């Protein structure tokens, strides 16, 4: 799964990186080195301008909440359980089927965290887990494949600007061999030349969309151990990305 990641780029950098037509970001988010579910995150989407739905879609930068709330949900707290969507079943799950067909997004990240179960044990006999930071070896932005949804809050008036809640989820797949010994799942990434095809809301063929997504090429990502400070969402800052002076685990 993908349950934590880092996102420190400024919105103006993302506008350039993703060739954004229109930024809907009113106030930029602070650099976040410990992004957790229910937090606000940057997302790249393609939608018609709100002022003219008949115009062609434009690429937008928006702020969404991590944890997808289906449009049919009665209680928005369901989003707390919808932080990841498995690629293998995304076309079957009611919560993800519709957004996969027409509401796909990119979630920019510096990298993400996963926890490796070591041979050490706690006093309760459970394995101690070592966090790892996994990121592009060349320092580029990760474009994680995501889905988004818009939930209408029935408790708010029609003229309330907060009546619509924009939320998102990260698509995951089986981890590549280089990373599978740390965790068996990883986010799906979208390569730059496929941004347009993935974001295009007029594309809906599941087979075509599935072919756009592949695990990161072997060797593109690197992983290194970091401090257990990242275990607590209260901790934040670039120091969370500092590597520990230990060797990464290797499969037996």
**Candidates 16, 19, 27, 114; catalytic one:** 114
Across the strands, what pairs with 126?
A: none
Residues 43/64, Cβ–Cβ less than 8 Å: yes
Active site residue 168: no
Active site residue 105: no
**Candidates 2, 46, 149, 168; catalytic one:** 2
Active site residues per annotation: 2, 114
């Amino acid at each position: 799964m993908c349950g934590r990641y880092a996102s420190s780029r400024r919105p103006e950098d993302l506008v350039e990186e993703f060739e954004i037509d229109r930024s809907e970001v009113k106030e930029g988010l602070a650099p976040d080195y410990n992004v957790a579910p229910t937090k606000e995150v940057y997302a790249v989407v393609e939608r018609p301008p709100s002022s003219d739905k008949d115009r062609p879609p434009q690429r937008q930068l928006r702020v969404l909440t991590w944890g997808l709330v289906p449009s049919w949900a009665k209680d928005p707290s369901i989003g707390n359980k919808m932080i990841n969507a498995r690629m293998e079943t995304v076309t079957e799950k009611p919560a993800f089927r519709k957004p996969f067909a027409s509401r796909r997004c990119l979630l920019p990240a510096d990298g993400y965290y996963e926890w490796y179960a070591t041979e050490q044990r706690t006093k309760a006999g459970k394995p101690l887990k070592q966090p790892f930071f996994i990121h592009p070896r060349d320092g580029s932005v990760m474009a994680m494949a995501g889905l988004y949804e818009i939930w209408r809050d029935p408790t708010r008036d029609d003229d309330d600007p907060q009546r619509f809640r924009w939320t998102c989820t990260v698509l995951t797949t089986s981890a590549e061999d280089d990373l599978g010994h740390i965790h068996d799942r990883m986010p799906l990434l979208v390569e730059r030349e496929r941004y347009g095809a993935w974001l295009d809301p007029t594309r809906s063929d599941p087979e075509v969309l599935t072919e756009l997504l592949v695990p990161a090429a072997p060797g593109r990502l690197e992983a290194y151990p970091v401090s257990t400070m990242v275990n607590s969402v209260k901790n934040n800052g670039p120091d969370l990305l500092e590597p520990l002076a230990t060797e990464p685990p290797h499969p037996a």
